Structures are given as C-alpha cells and as structure tokens.
Amino acid sequence: MKQFSDMSAVLAARHRDGLLRQRVELQSAQSVTPIIDGKPLLSFCSNDYLGLAGDDRIAQAMSQAVERYGVGAGASHLIDGHHHEHERLEQELAEFCGREAALVFSTGYMANIGVIQALLTRHDTVIQDRLNHASLIDGGRLSGAKFSRYAHNDSDNLAQQLDRASGKKLVVTDGVFSMDGDKAPLDDLASVCRSHDAWLMVDDAHGFGVLGTEGAGLVSEFGLTTEDVPVVIGTLGKAFGTSGAFVAGDQLTIDYLLQYARSYIYTTASPPAVAAATRASLAIVRNSNDRRAHLTALIQKLRAGIQALGLTLMPSETPIQPILIGESHHAMQLSQALKARGILVTAIRPPTVPEGTARLRVTLSAQHSEAQVDTLLNTLESLL
C-alpha cells in the first residue's frame, strides 16, 4: 500500500544510525546465566533484582493454583474474572505499602495510563519529570490534560510550573529512573506538592523489593504517608519475579479508579495462578534482607571496579548501573563485543535516552556472585 511505503526507508535509517531494536531469544528460565540464541551467557540485563523469576517456591505456588483454578481468568474483573486470589493479593499489597487499598492491573503500562487518564480531564494539569518512563509520558498525553515536564529531579522547576498550573494538579515521577538508576527526591517533591495543593503519583517499579523496609520501596525508604504520596504504582515483573502491576492508595481513590480506569475495566483479568504466585513472592520479598544486603555489596563492588577502569558511571545507588558511552554505534560495538565473550549487557540508545547519552545498562541481581561481577569487569578491561 502506497501510504505505508516509507517503512523500509525508516527501518534502513534506524539501522544506519545504530538505533535498530532487535530481540534475543531466551531458551531457558530467566536467571543470571540464561540460554539465549542457543548459547549460555552471563547476563546483566534482567530486572529480576532478587533472583525470584525462577524461584521454585513461586513456581510451585503457581502450579498448585493452575491445578485448582485453571489457566485463564475468563473475563474482566468487573464481569466474573475477579478471583479470590486477586482479592487477597490486593489486600496484601495494600498492607505491604502501608495503604488502605490496592488494585491489580495486568501490566505496568496499563496501570500508568489507566490511573492518569482516570484522575484527570482536559481542564486539569499533569506535570512529569523529564526522564519519566514512556508509559507515564503516554498516560499524561492520553489523559487530555494540560501536559508539561519539569527538569529532572528539580523541585524548584516543578514549583515554578505548579505556580502556572490550573484545575486539578497531578505531579508524576518515577521512584527509581529505569535508564539512569537514580532516585527521585520524594521528600522535596512531596513538600512542593503540599504547598501547591497538588497530588504526587510515584511509579516505584524499580524500587519495590529492593529499597525500603522489607523491600516496600522508595516511598517507604522516605517514610512518606498517603497524604504525602496519594498514588503509588508498583510492577510485579521485576523484583517480584512474576507479572502484572498494582496501584495503592486510600480506599476512596481505589474505589474511584475501579469505576474509571479504562485499562482496568476493559481487559480480561490476569490468571488467578499469577496472583497466587505473586502472593508467594511477596512473602519471600518481605523476608529477603539477606538478598538485599548481598545486592548492595555487589553494587558497591561494581561501581568501584568500573571507576577504576576510568569509565563514566551515572550517579546510581540502585541495581541499575548505566555506563555512559555517548555515541550509539560505540555503545552497540561494546555490547556486541561483550556478547561475543559470553556476557549480555544491553546498549540503550536514543530515543529511549537523550541524544549523545547512549549507554551500557548494567543491572545486577542478588543471584549474581562476586566472581561473576569480576568476570564482567575483567572483560570490560580487555575491551578498552
């Protein structure tokens, strides 16, 4: 068809500029040593921060639930797809977050676009951190509200924009930024929001399981209440090792979202067995201080080693440790050279990150050993 004839040229341009996205084929359970494209690799790519994606206890909980409840939910939550396992998971997640209630979504993307769209109208304003995840940016645009972005982690710039905002005001930020690994200054942001009668929404996808008391996330680490952060988003496919997402808040807000979040209302519920597996995972997460301590030690070891090599690390205290390369082709060449030596590290390039900031995004898991981190450092040194 003539109107789509430019697709090949667009793809060719992406390939020329070193920006073409490609998949790898996983042929084993997710772990730090997966089989990919038929070969065993040492992986520093997964968001499985606590190493739970392949945990036998969680797999057993899911298997038992499949035997009892089958595979599919069969309907949306508001028809007859809302299972007892979903209900219990929501109660346990709410308690975990120190909130009155929670609502489980099928994916983090659906949670973010659904919540923002439900809370705002075209008469309102949503202001987001410039480096927010794409799902948050899309949620803001799809809401139809007046949309702007403040300078990254800059509460003063946020205050200036809130001074000009109209209608209901929603401020949205990642807790831990997925491509930089740094943390949002939630105490400062919450203070600015209080003084401007704005709500603060935090997507803590990369904080849950890793940060805070019992892994309850960055909001917990800052000790912030529902009054400080009325809306908390979490995903279950990262440190929890399962699938899905949730929003937590006071009962009134969750009741409202159940009525108006379109991405919750108009989709089939996730399988009850996934909810059962996540409940098992949640119990493990809350009792994984040893894993979190090991992960912290690995982060410190990696950072010291990378700095000793003279490479540029971004300011991150989390398992996301990006090595700034700059030029996209160079980042891809390093990633490919590492893969040829049996190590998987993803090159992140524009438009996912700003021009000139292509990077190797190293992510650590509690499943990694110190020896495996040494292997990565030694291999990087051999490539410099």
Joined tokens for residue 181: 């690994």
123 is catalytic: no
State phi, psi for 224 to the nearest 5 degrees: -90, 140
Pairing of strands 199-203, 169-174: parallel
281 is catalytic: no
Give the residue carrying structure tokens 């990633």.
335
Q: Does 84 appear as a known binding residue? A: no
238 is catalytic: yes
Q: Does 326 appear as a known binding residue? A: no
Give the residue carrying structure tokens 């090991």.
294
The burial of 221, by beta-carbon neighbours within 10 Å (0-12 exposed, 13-18 middle, 19 or more buried), is given as middle
Q: Which of 206, 220, 263, 328 is catalytic?
A: 206
Q: Which of 46, 106, 155, 178 is catalytic?
A: 178
Report the alpha-carbon distance of residue 139 to residue 31 in Å, rounded: 31
Using alpha carbons, list the distances in angstroms from residue 168 to 205, 252, 331.
Answer: 25, 17, 42
Q: Does 108 appear as a known binding residue? A: yes
Q: Does 196 appear as a known binding residue? A: no
Report the alpha-carbon distance of residue 122 to residue 147 in Å, rounded: 10
Report the alpha-carbon distance of residue 355 to residue 351 in Å, rounded: 7
Which residues have CB under 8 Å from 12's CB, separation 6+? none
**Among 239, 210, 292, 264, residue whose Cα is nearest residue 90:** 264
Q: Does 312 appear as a known binding residue? A: no
Give the residue carrying structure tokens 């298997």.
63
Q: Does 206 appear as a known binding residue? A: yes
Answer whether 52's CB lies under 8 Å from 239's CB: yes
Report the alpha-carbon distance of residue 199 to residue 44 in Å, rounded: 36
What residues are labeled active site? 178, 206, 238
Q: Point out the annotated binding site for substrate.
A: 21, 133, 352
Q: Point out the annotated binding site for pyridoxal 5'-phosphate.
A: 108-109, 178, 206, 235
Q: Point out the annotated binding site.
A: 21, 108-109, 133, 178, 206, 235, 352
